[in-house]
Amino acid sequence: MALHMVNKAGEQDHSSVPRHIAIILDGNGRWAKKRGLPRTAGHAVGSETFRKIATYCRDIGVEYLTVYAFSTENWKRPEDEVKAIMQLLKRYLQEAIDTMERDHIRMKILGNTEGLSTEIRELIRKTDEISSHYQGFQANICLNYGGRDEILQAAKKYAAALQAGEADAELTEEQLGSYLYAHGIPDPDLLIRPGGEQRISNFLLWQCAYSEFYFTDVLWPDFGKAELDKAIEEFNRRDRRFGGVKK
Ligand code: IPE
Ligand code: IPE
Ligand code: MG
C-alpha cells in the first residue's frame, strides 16, 4: 500500500501511518565532524530535527513518537559532551513546557530520572503535569534510558510489591509490563535508526519484540519528512505475522 494516496479532495491520505514510531536519534556527532564542527553542534541541530519530525508525525496522524535521546551508556562520553547534551535537553524541555498547550502535544520522559539533575527532574515533573490534561499525540523522550535497566527496575519493583503482598505470585507478561517505564504505551510498530548503524543499542528491548526495523545511512540532523515518508512506505510493504501464518 502506498503512503501517498490522494483522496477525493485531492489531499494526501495518511491513513496507513503506523500508530507508534520509535527513532534512535543517531549520527549527530558524525554530522558535525563532517563539517569541521564540534560534536555538540550536531546535537543542537539534531534537537531541531526532533522538533520538526515530531510536528510532522502529529500532522500525519501518528499517535506515539518515542525517541532515544540519551542512553544509560552515554555517560561514558567526555564530560563536556554530556554537559552540552544535558543543557540542550533542559532548554528543549523549558521550551516544550511553553508550547505543549499551543501544539497539543503530550510529552513523557522515559528512563531512570533519578540519575538526572534536580533542574531537569523538575522540568519533567512539569511536563507530566501539563500532559495529564491532554489527549492525542504523545511524544516520549528516552532519557538516561536503557532497555536492560527498564526491565531490571521493573523486576525490582515487582519483587518489592510481592514482598508487600501487593502483587500476584503468578508473574505474567502483563504484570511485569505494568512496572516498565513505557507502561500504557502500545509497542512501537516501526523502529527507525538513522546514522548507518544496524543495532538496537539497548533501546526498548521489551517493546520491540515485533516492531519492524528501518535503517538508513542518513544522519539524524539531515533526517527530513521525505525520509520519514520513505520509512513509512517501506513499513507498509512489510508483512507482519507476529508468529502466525500469512492469511
Ligand atoms: C546521537 O548521536 C545522540 C546521542 C547519542 C546523545 P551521536 O552523538 O551518537 O552521533 P554519532 O553516532 O557519534 O555520529
Ligand atoms: C544510541 O546511540 C543511543 C542514542 C541515540 C541516545 P549511540 O551512538 O550511543 O550507540 P552506539 O554506541 O553506536 O551503539
Ligand atoms: Mg552514535
Residues 35-85 have pLDDT tens digits of 999 999 999 999 999 999 999 999 999 999 999 999 999 999 999 999 999
> What is the value of pTM for the model shown?
0.94
Q: For this structure, is 236 an active site residue?
A: no
Count Cβ atoms below 10 Å from residue 159 Cβ, excluding itself: 13
Residue entry with cell 505470585: 169
Q: Whose CA is nearest to atom 1 of ligand 2?
A: 201
Distance CA 193, CA 27 (A): 9
Strand partners, 64: 20, 138
Place of cell 542518513: 218
> What is the pLDDT at residue 7?
45
Q: What is the mean pLDDT of the chain?
A: 93
- Please state the separation of Cα 142 from the chain's center in Å: 6
Which mutation among 23, 28, 47, 74 tests ligand 2's pocket best, with the greatest number of atoms within 8 A of CB?
74
226: Cα within 13 Å, side-chain hemisphere: 2
> What are the pLDDT digits (tens) for 85-122?
999 999 999 999 988 888 888 999 999 999 999 999 99
Cβ-based neighbour number of residue 72 at 10 Å: 19
Q: Active site residue: 7, 28, 59, 74, which one?
A: 74
pLDDT at 28 over 70: yes
Pocket flag, ligand 2, residue 25 (CB < 6 Å): yes
Ligand 2: atom nearest CA of 145 is 6
**pLDDT for residue 178 is more than 90:** yes
Hey, what amino acid is at 84? A
pLDDT band at 15 (very low <50, low <70, confident <90, very high): low
φ/ψ (deg, to 5) at 113: -70, -20
- Give the HSE-up count for residue 37: Cα atoms under 13 Å, Cβ half-sphere: 14
- CB-based contact 72:202 (threshold 8 Å): yes
26 counts as catalytic: yes
Residue 158 Cα to ligand 1 midpoint, Å, equals 33
Pocket of ligand 1 (CB under 6 A): 25-30, 70, 74, 85, 195
- pLDDT for res 103: 81
Question: Which atom of ligand 1 has the smallest separation from the CA of 27?
Answer: 14
Of how many residues is the chain composed?
247
pLDDT at residue 1 is higher than 50: no
SS3 of residue 41 by DSSP? helix
In whole angstroms, what is the distance from residue 118 CA to residue 101 CA? 24
d(CA 54, CA 25): 12
- What is the 117 CA–ligand 1 centroid distance (Å)? 21
